[in-house]
Amino acid sequence: MPLPADLPVVDHHCHLSPTGEGVAAVRRFAAAGGTHLFLATQNYLSEVPVRLAQYEEQYATTVAIARQVEEETSVRCYSVLAPYPVDLLRQVDALGVAAAVELQMAALALAGKEVAEGRAVALGEVGRPHFPYPPELADSVEAVFRRALDVARDAGCPAVVHCEELDAGGFRSLAALASAALFPLQKLVKHYHRTALPPTDYAGISPSYLARRELVDSVLSRGGPWFLETDFLDDPRRPGAVLDLATVPRRARALADRDPTAAERLRIPFVESIGAVYGFTPEVPVG
């Protein structure tokens, strides 16, 4: 059974690269029924950025890819910009702690300016490395994370969090950090979330679920806000990683084939949650 004609089909978190499939992957997404993408920036260099000008170029590349997607396909594409949290660890090796933190702070301020001037809709990915890192860097990591929340708060935009997989205690801790920064909990989005915790365990934070079949089935009956994502990496060395870009529309169509009422439930991640967290409603392109 086809999806409702007025239902947007949204991948909430993906990456596209000038050296990967790029727009070709988006055409595959659109052919499967996808209509909207949230495009998270990434480092397009072979080495970590060590100058603010490299982040300026990185952000400009992401915005240019999003523009190319909209010019060459029917898909609407929103940019999400910030210095990757893992960059800090390698920048410490190259620059020292103080200069590395200063660079991250400046790159966050630049991302906030991009949001304020309408070239991006959120700060992301921000947060912490998803793996153990030297404990002596914990204060620096947390200082950068707090600044990210301050910048997003002042820009009035969501913050898309990269960190380890969180349990209920982890979500409570994250909520406490956001509350201390006077950051709206609903606008804090935990990207790449892979488990269906009880709804109260999210402590007011919005999960963006990896669109695996069993996980989608587990959360479909829940109220929002929550999102679906592939975290598609567009890395020629890892084709299809993490999930292929066509996964979300394929999941949506499979649900509609199985149960027409399930397709209506998809208005929660594709429409209502975007309205609640981002403040706008994605519309299905005409023609």
Q: Domain extents for the chain?
A: 10-278
User: What was the pLDDT predicted at 273?
Assistant: 98
Residue 188 vs residues 51, 168, 198, 276: alpha-carbon distances, Å: 28, 15, 18, 12
CA 1 to chain centre: 30
User: What was the pLDDT predicted at 241?
Assistant: 79
User: What was the pLDDT predicted at 262?
Assistant: 86
CB 174 within 8 A of CB 205: yes
User: What was the pLDDT predicted at 287?
Assistant: 52
Model confidence at 285, in pLDDT bands (50, 70, 90)?
low
Parallel, antiparallel, or unpaired for β 206-210 and 227-229?
parallel
Average pLDDT of the chain, as a whole number? 96
| Angle CA 59–62–66, to nearest 5 | 140
- Calpha distance 168→42 (Å, rounded): 29
First to last CA, the chain: 21
Pick the closest to residue 163 from 238, 264, 251, 88 (CA basis): 88
**pLDDT cut 90: percent of the chain above it:** 92
Model confidence at 236, in pLDDT bands (50, 70, 90)?
confident
Per DSSP (E only), the strands in the chain are 10-14, 36-40, 76-81, 122-127, 159-162, 188-193, 206-210, 227-229
**Segment 218-241 mean pLDDT:** 92
Q: Where would I find the H helices in 156-246?
A: 168-180, 213-219
Q: Report if pTM > 0.75.
A: yes
Fold of 10-278: TIM Barrel (3.20.20)
Residue 96 has pLDDT above 60, yes or no: yes
Sequence letter at residue 210: L
User: What was the pLDDT predicted at 239?
Assistant: 77
237 vs 63: which has the higher pLDDT: 63
Residues facing residue 80 across a β-bridge: 40, 122
User: What was the pLDDT predicted at 286?
Assistant: 61
pLDDT in tens, 130-178: 999 999 999 999 999 999 999 999 999 999 999 999 999 999 999 999 9
